[in-house]
Amino acid sequence: MPEHLNAEPELLLKLLSHTSPPGSTGPVIAIDLDDVLSQTNREICEWHNEVYGTKMELSDFYYFYYWKNPYWGNLQETFSKVKDFYATQRIYDAQPVAGAREGVQALRDMGFRLIIVTARSRDVQEDSWKWVDKWFHGEYLDLISTCGSQFTDFRLRFVRFCCLYRPIYRRRYE
């Protein structure tokens, strides 16, 4: 493993310091997009019910992997359904999670630098940023895609995206 993947937290913050606007020295907080900021599962649930005539509810989402949840089918069927959902552009109609904007503002007011981390694929990054900009204009510094990588160890996943910080789509408010 490359040496920089074993970096200590202080080094990670130093590596991320270029994400902060001039004069900002607060710690960085990475926040997930789907179902933390955006009600993505609510939107896909409604779509699934309309298209497939199901009675899916948010309480049916037991796992991050949709194919492990009721109504989705096997892995291949699930990928096909998710692809069809993205083609509708409904993901960008999702409302923010209740209280998310107030929570984000409170974190900013406390001096934290905020970045979004998402497992959304590269081909939807620009549209995802438009959604963020619509609902959270100026609150976030960057949108970072982990490109759906499936690492089993969270620390490795976090260190990897921090140390190899090369967002697919990035916009800064300065």
Q: What are the tens digits of pLDDT across the range 6-25?
A: 445 555 455 544 444 444 56
**Neighbouring residues of 127: CB distance < 8 A, sequence distance ≥ 6:** 89, 92
Q: Given pLDDT bands bounded at 50, 70 and 90, which one contains residue 135? A: very high
Asked whether the CA dihedral 79, 130, 61, 70 is positive or negative, the reply is negative
Q: What are the tens digits of pLDDT across the range 55-109?
A: 999 999 988 889 999 999 999 999 999 999 999 989 999 999 999 999 998 888 8
User: With the CA atoms of 88, 93, 157 and 146 taken in that order, what torsion angle do they form, in degrees rounded to the nearest 10?
Assistant: 50
Q: What is the pLDDT of residue 5?
A: 39
Residue 103, token pair as written in the block? 């929570």
Q: What is the pLDDT of residue 24?
A: 56
Domain map (residue ranges) of the chain = 3-38+96-163, 40-93
- The architecture that CATH gives domain 3-38+96-163 is 3-Layer(aba) Sandwich (3.40)
Residue 17, token pair as written in the block? 């310091």
Query: What is the spatial order of strands in the sheet that 142-145 belongs to?
Result: 28-32, 113-118, 142-145
Q: Which residues are catalytic?
A: 32, 34
95 by Cβ neighbours in 10 Å (0-12 / 13-18 / 19+) ranks as: exposed
38-42, 60-64, 140-144: range with lowest mean pLDDT = 140-144
Q: What is the pLDDT of residue 3?
A: 44
Q: What are the tens digits of pLDDT across the range 161-174?
A: 454 444 433 444 43
Asked whether the CA dihedral 63, 43, 123, 169 is positive or negative, the reply is negative
Do the beta carbons of residue 113 and residue 26 sit within 8 Å? yes
> Does 2 have pLDDT greater than 50?
no
0.75 exceeded by pTM? no
Higher pLDDT, 38 or 25: 38
